[in-house]
Amino acid sequence: MDLATVIGIVLALFSIAISAYIGDVDVSILFKRYEAFILVFGGTIAATMISFPMKTFVRGLRTGFAMAFTEPQYHEHEIIANLVTFAEKARREGLLALENEAAELDDEFMRKGIQLVIDGRDADIIRKILETEVLFVQERNAKAEAVLMTMGGFSPTLGIIGTVLGLIAMLKGLGDTAGGNVTGKIGIATAQAFVATFFGISLANLLWLPLGAKVKERNGQLLLLREIMIEGILSIQAGDNPRLLEEKLHAFLDPNERETEVEEGGTVGEPSMAGT
């Protein structure tokens, strides 16, 4: 579970609740006008479905939520440590000695790359196969980002539509002066009309757009990890020195992270036999 996503959503709701309390806003109106939420939420879903093929829409939502709410299990340091370990063993015992280690890898991408090396495939073929897989994953994640961003674009517009419908209903009732206190009735009707705008803007800026941004960030992290894997796998295939391989892969990291590793002894610690 990605705590940043969960805490962010909870904090956003808490901020709205505190602001409403301080501003003496009657939040019960939000629950009474549930038709506004239905219009905004349902309309956003419908408009996004129109914008994408059904398969793209469903897969985009599923992938987007999974990426936004799931914390990555593995990180760059672990990948580098694994690759350096593989390089050391390959130089000592040969590429065939990596077969057992490759079979234990959780990450399918890294497992496939190491297996291609063990099978003796040409470096150009290995690079092409792995880069094609990366391209497919990048396109899939980009579609997930596009679906969420599109929902973030439609949501405020649907909120405005709901507000317009509320104002139409309010103006229609202006002629009814029975019971007096027309000003009070108009005020209540206007407040109710703007509930849809509240839902539209809130869902867009506190849910859909942030989730889309998180998917974009995760996609960038995944691309970096895949690039590290590809370079490491090809270096192992070429028989590069493990220390040289380690330095080459560290070049992908932020300089501050590289400095931290050097201060801790120049290596990335005890490697785990898992990919990302």
Judged against a pLDDT cut of 70, whether residue 31 lies above it is answered with yes
**Do the domain assignments include residue 119?**
no
Indicate whether 7 belongs to any domain. Answer: yes
For 216-244, write each residue's pLDDT tens digit. 999 988 898 999 999 999 999 888 888 88
Examine residue 155 and state whether it is found in any structural domain, yes or no. yes
Asked whether residue 19 is assigned to any structural domain, the reply reads yes
The answer, yes or no, to whether residue 265 has pLDDT greater than 80, is: no
Angle of CA points 138, 144, 146, to nearest 5°: 100
Q: Identify whether 25 is part of a domain.
A: yes
Question: How many percent of the chain have pLDDT more than 70?
Answer: 84
Full-prediction pTM beyond 0.85? Answer: no
For residue 228, what are the domain limits? 3-75+127-263
**Whether pLDDT at 98 is above 90:** no
User: What digits encode the pLDDT tens for the residues 100-154?
Assistant: 888 888 888 988 999 999 888 888 999 999 999 999 999 999 999 999 999 999 9
In a domain, 16, yes or no: yes
Percentage of residues in the chain having pLDDT higher than 90? 40
Total domains, the chain: 1
The answer to whether residue 111 sits within a structural domain is: no
Q: Among 111, 127, 126, which Cα is nearest to 79's? A: 111
In a domain, 38, yes or no: yes
Mean pLDDT of the chain: 83
